[in-house]
Structure 1
């Protein structure tokens, strides 16, 4: 959720520990990454956009003696659905990519178990803890889901780009916007929540009806929306307005240029948090714990901005210089109470589908 851009993103791994199946069935018991289990395989279940910069995952394998296998699902929504469907025979040992729009479902279904995280960045991650969670999900990165516009396209058309939610429903912007399907896409669901935060429960569906009537296109997922349908995503698609991230623009700076060709509309943002957790019933919970802790290591956290195009949760990581200018987080992202998301998510998605898809 950029060149091989955040939802062709990469994620990382790790917690150091052993399985202590005591009263709370928590995974933990801190050891250093180099004090691994001595070999074996740990399977990471993640979304289709997972990836890490070359050499980082290999470093984890060398230090621990573990071999990492990756099982990829589609977007975060589809990922959580699969975790629920397979919870009696889990797909792997560790999951990365459950975000705050679907986290409550993963917790309610018991697909992840508490883990003791020992990395220094665990204190920073705690600031993003899911309310009511007892340590089953650990925050790894954050980012703002916002509408993005192709500045080059609008300049060539002699048209001022939209700036607000309401602008997207204006006649001059008809047939210009594409968003991923919120039923299976976590960025798509984040934008639904942004509209609920902006227009309230009595007005958000009317807003989506206006978008629909103004020629909204719904793509299967973020990758299709950004790389295929968006005119500024490298695929030369027909639509110059797309749902993406506040961190997307820096990755559209052309070679030899010093400014991006796209911009994020920071007044339309919803803050997304991505989590990792040890899967209940994992074959290798000890390896999963080590991999979880590694996700919060300095190596991985420092790699997140350039490989995952998200903000690391670690406060000690130095961000790329151009992020201050071209990838700032929204000062006032739109919010919906986590309890409301948990209670109403499925009904909201049903209402969205009935209104937009029919």
Structure 2
């Protein structure tokens, strides 16, 4: 997962208590044995792999989750930062039968699952979830599911890719096609689809809009109009956009939550949904096939979907909760400044399978690093 980092020190933004009491659903022993489901006996420690911004500061979601989970269970939660290479690191280890010393992956996208199944066998690397062992799985919105045909994931939050622009310099673009017009020459910052989730999501949005046979022509028009492609979200937003180098950037529809939190100028942080759309980027969690404590992993999943944890993840990770509204209570400021598009655009698992790598590689040959 390659995504945003905080722009500054962030407070909790909520006065929430710890998660309600949970009980183990599995049949393992009190030390976390897996009840004969194929895993080894656990030692009361859960190792969770996740991306940097989940755990990089004390105000990130990770430290709160660790403290609250450990207070609720007789267990220890250890965070492990996602290595360079992301999901490919674990694909390569599985391909070599090298073993994986982690229990849970927090931060999966649909494209990660596609790459797993394209490079390993279908349904590989992660366990199919037994939803009967999850008290809160049904809280997740159906439209936020990752669509994994092998049932390995649960969504824990949702983001929408949008445009953020400075209304003092440019007008709101009504469509993606508008971005190729002279009015928007040398205005847009985007991210590398090979290196940033936001960049890949924006690329997929253009493929949805212009088709497999038309998206490269569209990107040629963007390039002719001066689009600038930087490696990641941090370089394009925290760097070039915040430094005033360009008046528009591919980003997230929750960015005004940051704007309000840090008292930035709202006129420079307007959210645009071209074609009244935003590209959906759900994030999921899965249990590694060789997890040492499967029961504890299921406990963690239910905990993450609790009302308190969902509110804290949304506030601290600045993404939408995965669960339906009745299962989470967000503060009024989050609801006011976190914007949802009228239409959610996305490619599902079947749409990406066998296509994703080719689309990205074809794009990168022509436009990466422009």
TM-score by length of 1: 0.81
Distance 1:259 1:70, change over 3 A: same
Deviation track 1:255-313 (CA, whole Å, cap 9, x = no partner) reads: 66895641222235211111000112123333333222221122211112211111111
Kept after mapping to 2: 8 A contact 1:124/1:314: yes
Q: 1:4 and 1:64, CA in 2 relative to 1: closer, same or farther beyond 3 A?
A: same
Alignment of 1:42 with 2:46, yes or no, is yes
Q: Which residue of 2 aligns with 1:31?
A: none
- TM-superposed CA distance for 1:317, in Å, is 0.8
Q: Which runs of 5+ in 2 are unaligned?
A: 13-18, 27-33
Residue 299 (structure 1) aligned to one of 308, 317, 334: 308
Distance 1:218 1:74, change over 3 A: farther
Structure 1 contact 92–282 (Cα < 8 Å) conserved: yes
Partner Cα distance (2:117, 2:304) in 1: 20
* Counterpart position of 2:258: 251
Residue 136, structure 1, aligned to residue 147, structure 2: no
Conservation of the 8 A alpha-carbon contact between 1:45 and 1:73: yes
Match of 2:66 in 1: 57
CA distance in 2, matches of 1:180, 1:257: 23
Select the residue among 213, 217, 226 that pairs with 2:228: 217
Matched, 1:112 2:126: yes
Q: CA deviation at 1:176?
A: 2.4
Match of 1:101 in 2: 111
Provide the C-alpha distance between the structure 2 equivalents of 1:95 and 1:3, rounded to a whole number of angstroms. 19
TM-score w.r.t. the length of structure 2 is 0.78
Deviation per CA, 1:71-97: give whole Å up to 9, x if none: 22279xx42222212223214110011
Aligned residues of 2:148 and 2:349 also touching (Cα < 8 A): no
Query: Is residue 197 from structure 1 mapped to residue 230 from structure 2 by the alignment?
Result: no
| 2:343 alignment partner, SS class | coil
User: Could you say what secondary structure the match of 1:101 adopts?
Assistant: helix
* Partner-residue secondary structure (3-state), 2:364: helix
RMSD, aligned α-carbons: 3.2
Contact map agreement 1:46 1:79 (CA 8 A) in 2: no
The superposition leaves residues 176-205 of structure 1 with CA deviations (integer Å, 9 ceiling, x where unpaired) of: 222221113222111111101111122111
Query: Following the alignment from structure 1 to structure 2, what is the Cα–Cα distance between the partners of residues 146 and 120?
Result: 34
SS at match of 1:223: helix
User: How many residues matched?
Assistant: 331
Deviates more, 1:200-209 or 1:131-140: 131-140
Question: Is residue 160–residue 280 contact of structure 2 (8 Å, CA) maintained in 1?
Answer: yes
Conserved? CA contact 2:163–2:248, under 8 Å: yes
Relative distance call for 1:15 and 1:265 in structure 2 (3 A) is farther
The superposition leaves residues 303-345 of structure 1 with CA deviations (integer Å, 9 ceiling, x where unpaired) of 1221111111121112332344432211112233431211200
Unaligned runs of 5+ in 1: 28-36
Measured in 1, the distance between the counterparts of 2:4 and 2:93 equals 33
CA 1:300–1:5: 2 relative to 1, 3 Å:
farther
Distance 1:137 1:244, change over 3 A: same
| 1:34-90 CA distance string (max 9 Å, x none) | xxx7x6322111122213445442121122232222222279xx4222221222321
For 2:241, the equivalent position in structure 1 comes to: 230
1:69-108 matches, cutoff 5 A:
69-73=78-82, 78-87=85-94, 88=97, 89-107=99-117
